[in-house]
Amino acid sequence: MNIIDGNKIAKDIIEDLKNEVGQLPNGRPTVAFIRVGEDPASISYVRKKQKTAEAIGIHAELTVLPESISQEELFAVIETYNKNDAVNGILIQAPLPKHIDETATFNQVDPRKDVDGFHTLNIGKLCQEDASGFVACTPAGIVELIKRSQIETEGKHVVVLGRSQIVGKPATLLMVRKGTPGNATVTVCHSRTQNLADITRQADILIAAIGKAHFVTKEMVKPGASIIDVGINRIPDATKKSGTRLVGDVDFDAVSPLCEHITPVPGGVGPMTVAMLMQNTLKAFKAMNS
Ligand code: NDP
């Protein structure tokens, strides 16, 4: 059993990006973060992204907007960044307040600066296997983990648990596309799937992205499978100072002895998401300066 070290892989990618940014002949990339409201998780995610950007040499700007902001006012802020040639990437931290339409907001970002890969145009490019688009950071990170762990996907049965716009669907497209990693036979499961365990037991590679702690048990896994656990769930834990701890969608202790490869939570997919955001920002900078 091989526990995939997402922290180490992300660190290697960040080091490579730092070297590349340091050698850019024409300035350095800029990413603009927009955070709406004071959600503690969003504050912490944006801080982590800012810190990583600065460590690489990517200039990071942050705009914090009040929870009460109207959609029109938010769009006006996005438009300012769209028009600013010095800004290469724009990231709007989700979740947004309920009165704001998230899809419309993501589509307001100039697709050339859509480093989150959520714009309809970039999702379309992913469907068409057009490499000029931006791929959403978490699925891009999953692919990178699979690639760097030398997990064969060609002809394999990949089962994706979850069909969200930001993880399940793009991960499905990436696994089915022509290429390496890719060329897999993919089954997508969701809350209406019947006989779920019968399907997951057929998986050579199982990508779990449903947001339910310890959902995947050992009875649901084929011995020798590789498992990518995307879930981030907080559960009570009296032994911790905070009274809680983070776990994935997979019952790691029970499932890991059966697996060929498995990602831990934390320290698996999570750090890769931030690394891929930085990679996308450098890609946007290069495209704008070529
Ligand atoms: P969503 O809530 O948007 O989607 C969850 C998906 O799981 C849906 O497709 C849903 O089905 C499906 N699902 C829910 N319950 C079941 C069930 N009992 N059986 C089968 N399918 C089910 O979640 P996200 O995709 O945004 O996130 C998934 C997890 O990944 C979360 O824990 C999240 O925190 C984590 N995450 C981690 C990231 C990282 O950087 N590591 C980044 C993004 C997310 P249906 O469509 O029918 O409702």
Task: Evaluate: CB of 6 within 6 angstroms of ligand 1.
Answer: no
pLDDT digits (tens, 9 = 90+) for 114-146: 999 999 999 999 999 999 999 999 999 999 999
- Mean pLDDT (the chain) is 97
Nearest-angstrom CA–CA distance, 33 and 287: 20
Q: Which amino acid is at 264?
A: P
Terminal Cα distance for the chain, rounded: 44
Nearest-angstrom CA–CA distance, 130 and 133: 6
188/230 same-domain check? yes
Averaged pLDDT for residues 22-33:
96
Confidence of residue 13 (pLDDT cuts 50, 70, 90): very high
By the 8 A CB rule, do 26 and 282 touch? no
By the 8 A CB rule, do 264 and 252 touch? yes
Confidence of residue 155 (pLDDT cuts 50, 70, 90): very high
Residue 290 has pLDDT above 90, yes or no: no
114/141 same-domain check? no
Q: Is 49 a catalytic residue?
A: yes
Nearest-angstrom CA–CA distance, 161 and 210: 6
C-alpha 238 to ligand 1 mean position (Å): 26
159/103 same-domain check? no
256/148 same-domain check? yes
176/50 same-domain check? no
Residue 76: other Cβ atoms inside 10 A: 12
186/115 same-domain check? no
Averaged pLDDT for residues 25-50:
96
Number of domains in the chain: 2
Tell me the chain's radius of gyration from C-alpha atoms: 19
188/242 same-domain check? yes
State the catalytic residue, choosing from 5, 110, 114, 116.
Answer: 116
Residue 38 has pLDDT above 90, yes or no: yes
The CATH number of the domain holding residue 61 is 3.40.50.10860
Residue 214 has pLDDT above 90, yes or no: yes
244/165 same-domain check? yes
Residue 103 lies inside a defined structural domain of this protein: yes
159/259 same-domain check? yes
pLDDT digits (tens, 9 = 90+) for 75-111: 999 999 999 999 999 999 999 999 999 999 999 999 9
pLDDT value of position 128: 98
Nearest-angstrom CA–CA distance, 96 and 149: 35
226/107 same-domain check? no
Residue 125 lies inside a defined structural domain of this protein: no
Residue numbers of the domain that contains 40: 26-119
163/252 same-domain check? yes
Angle CA(160)–CA(250)–CA(134) in degrees, nearest 5?
A: 40
State the catalytic residue, choosing from 93, 114, 125, 283.
Answer: 93
pLDDT digits (tens, 9 = 90+) for 260-288: 999 999 999 999 999 999 999 999 999 99
Place of tokens 């701890």: 245
Q: Pocket of ligand 1, candidates 190, 250, 278: which has the most ligand atoms within 8 Å of its Cβ, to mutate?
A: 190
Q: Is 218 a catalytic residue?
A: no
Task: Evaluate: CB of 164 within 6 angstroms of ligand 1.
Answer: yes
Nearest-angstrom CA–CA distance, 116 and 137: 6
Residue 222 lies inside a defined structural domain of this protein: yes
Nearest-angstrom CA–CA distance, 72 and 101: 11
